[in-house]
Amino acid sequence: MTDLPGVVITGASGRMGQMLIQTVTQNDAVRLVGAVERSGHDWVGRDVGAAMGGSDLGVVVTDDALAAFSKAQIVIDFTAPVATIEFAGLAAQARAVHVIGTTGMTDDDIAKLEPASRHAVIVRAGNMSLGVNLLVQLTKKVAAALDEDFDIEVIEGHHNMKVDAPSGTALMLGEAAAEGRGVALNDVRDSGRDGITGARKRGDIGFTAIRGGDIVGEHDVLFAAAGERIVLRHMATDRAIFARGAVKAALWGVNQSPGEYDMLDVLGLAEPK
Running along the chain, 273 residues long, what does each successive block of 10 average in pLDDT?
A: 89 96 97 98 98 98 98 97 98 98 92 98 92 94 97 97 92 96 97 91 97 96 98 95 96 97 90 66
pLDDT recorded at residue 104: 85
Q: Which domain holds residue 257?
A: 6-124+239-266
Q: State the pLDDT at residue 270.
A: 76
- The CATH number of residue 37's host domain is 3.40.50.720
Shared domain for 33 and 112, answered yes or no, is: yes
Catalytic residue from among 140, 158, 234, 248: 158
Strand stretches in the chain, DSSP E? 6-10, 31-36, 61-62, 74-77, 97-100, 121-124, 151-158, 189-190, 205-211, 217-225, 228-236, 259-261
Nearest to 32 by CA among 55, 9, 61, 1: 9
Q: Are 231 and 224 in contact (CB under 8 A)?
A: no
Contact, 73 vs 96, CB < 8 A? yes
Phi and psi for 207 in degrees, rounded to 5? -130, 135
Q: Is residue 224 one of the residues assigned to a domain?
A: yes
- What pLDDT shows up at residue 192? 81
CA count, 13 A, side-chain hemisphere, 111: 3
Give residues with Cβ within 8 angstroms of 225, minimum separation 6. 146, 149, 150, 151
CA-to-CA distance for 253 and 181, rounded, in angstroms?
A: 31
The reply to whether 112 belongs to the active site is: no
Is residue 159 annotated as part of the catalytic site, yes or no? no
Indicate which CATH number applies to the domain containing 168: 3.30.360.10
Q: Is residue 154 part of a domain?
A: yes
- pTM for the whole thing? 0.83
**Catalytic position from the list 41, 119, 159, 162:** 162
Same domain, 15 and 83: yes
In a domain, 228, yes or no: yes
Indicate if 164 and 88 belong to the same structural domain: no
Q: Measured between alpha carbons, how far is residue 84 from residues 3, 18, 77, 89 in Å? A: 27, 17, 7, 9
